[in-house]
Structure 1
Amino acid sequence: MRSKDFDEEEILRKAIHIFWEKGYNATSIHDLIDGLGIGRSSIYHAFGDKHKLFVQALEFYQSEGTAKIRNTIDNAPSLKVAVETLLNGVINDVLQEACPKGCFKINSEVEVAAQDEIVRQLVYNDDLLIEDALYQAFKKAQQSGEIDAAKDPLALARFICNTISGMRVYAKFRSERAFFEDIAKTALSVIA
């Protein structure tokens, strides 16, 4: 069996960028061939087809993103610092000119998930992982007295997840730092 003549991780990163920029439906196999720098047969041999490549790219993107979120939550000195770091990270991400607008995961969720059970399940499961990491952090912060014990930690986790997702959706057509900073500031006031 012939070995691959490319780095699979590099190809997945390139595929993420292509799908992110154009969207799943607007991305053709020719866009992938040109953007990935590998032939059609290599794409089909390594990934199966456009949909399977998309799914693998989304899994890779989510894996890296969720690990980064968990790392932020686990290593912050307090819950407030963790949430502030997450929200500021979103602001910096969405305002980067080199970054396609929005978020690859959120864009995939909006464009593809409603018609594609595999993608729907992927983003749903990833959302649950992030929600649970925040929920556990909120519970711990309540036990330590950092936040009010009367607040619902699951509702707070869901609120922060939704705030982050909403900011990423707005990034498709908004680019004013003050707009996103207002959202982050208000979200932080809810958990204080």
Structure 2
Amino acid sequence: MRTKDFNETEILRKAITLFWQKGYHATSLYDLIEGLGIGRSSIYHAFGDKHNLFLKALELYQQEATARIKELLNNASSVKAAVAQLLQQVVKAVLTDACPKGCFKINSEVEVAANDELIKKLVAEDDLIIEDALYQAIKKGQDNGEISTSKNPKALASFICNAVTGMRVYAKFRNDQQFFDNVVQTTLSVLD
């Protein structure tokens, strides 16, 4: 049995970059061979095909991004401060990107998930994990009196997720600090 002469996680990170820049459909096998620095046979041996490589890259991206979000929400002394930090991180990321490309996960939802049940299931499950983490944080904030109990915590979590998604979509074609600051401010106001 032949052993891999590459680090799979490194290859997946490179694949994330390629798929993120070009999109799933526009990324050719040649792009993958050149960008990953491994041969066609190594790609097929390790990942099976382009679709499976994309799936594994998206899984890695989501695991890491979702872990950061959950850590931020779980370790914050203030739920409002954590949500504000999350939103500010999104703004910083979208405004400092020299090549506006949005969010890999959201791009995948828009480009691929509508016609691909595996991708749809993968991103939908991750969306629910993030939404639940926000719900738990908001509920905690309501329990300790930081956030008003007059609003449904699930609806607030859904609203915040929607705001984050919207900002990441807008980032593909809009680079306007004031616009994003307004979205952040309005989103945070729902927690009052």
**What range is the shorter-chain TM-score in?**
over 0.9
* Number of residue-to-residue matches in the alignment: 192
| Matching of residues 149-188 of structure 1 within 5 Å | 149-188=149-188
Q: Which residue of 1 aligns with 2:110?
A: 110
Q: Which residue of 1 aligns with 2:49?
A: 49
Moved over 6 A (4+): none
Taking the aligned partners of 1:123 and 1:96, their CA distance within structure 2 comes to 25
| Matching of residues 32-111 of structure 1 within 5 Å | 32-98=32-98, 100-111=100-111
**CA RMSD of superposed structures (Å):** 0.9
Say if 1:20 and 1:100, in contact at 8 Å, map to a contact too.
no
Q: Which residue of 2 aligns with 1:20?
A: 20
Taking the aligned partners of 1:98 and 1:118, their CA distance within structure 2 comes to 31
Say if 1:18 and 1:27, in contact at 8 Å, map to a contact too.
yes
Say if 1:106 and 1:168, in contact at 8 Å, map to a contact too.
yes
- What code does the residue aligned with 1:183 have? V
Query: 1:100, CA displacement in angstroms?
Result: 4.6
Say if 2:100 and 2:173, in contact at 8 Å, map to a contact too.
no
Point out where structure 1 has 5 or more consecutive residues left out of the alignment: none
Give identity over the alignment, percent.
65
Say if 2:100 and 2:171, in contact at 8 Å, map to a contact too.
no
Taking the aligned partners of 2:183 and 2:162, their CA distance within structure 1 comes to 11
Taking the aligned partners of 2:178 and 2:20, their CA distance within structure 1 comes to 25
Query: 1:3, CA displacement in angstroms?
Result: 1.3
TM-score computed with the length of structure 1 as normaliser: 0.98
